[in-house]
Amino acid sequence: MSLQCPRCHSERIVPREVGKRAGGVIGAAGGAATGAAGAVSGAQAGAVVGAVAGPVGVVLGGLAGALFGGLVGGAAGCVAGAKLGEVVDEKVLGNCECLECGCVFSNPSGQHQG
């Protein structure tokens, strides 16, 4: 049996994923900030590796290391935030919306409609 709206009994239901999106954005920002702090060590490591190529290699290696640190931190934070947001969607927020009447409700099974 497919999921139905509790108000109008329509089967035109979509997941809202408000918590997942918000968690992903907040997590990405926090992860990027953490990654930027870690970018100093990434820049130092990149500079050491780039030193083989001389002064230009030190600069490029340092920039690459800093960029990599920020990207990895942002990506990790985004994934963690999105997972936390999914739990909030399922347990706290209404995670489904009816396209017919606009009713927002929680899916009792917690599973997404595909």
Other Cβ atoms within 10 Å of 73 Cβ, number:
22
Q: Look at residues 76, 66, 63 and name the one whose alpha carbon lies nearest to residue 37.
A: 66
- Show pLDDT as tens, one digit a residue, over the chain (114 residues): 578 999 999 999 988 888 888 888 888 888 877 777 777 666 666 667 666 667 777 777 777 777 877 788 888 888 888 888 888 877 777 788 899 999 988 876 555 444
Domain ranges of the chain: 19-92
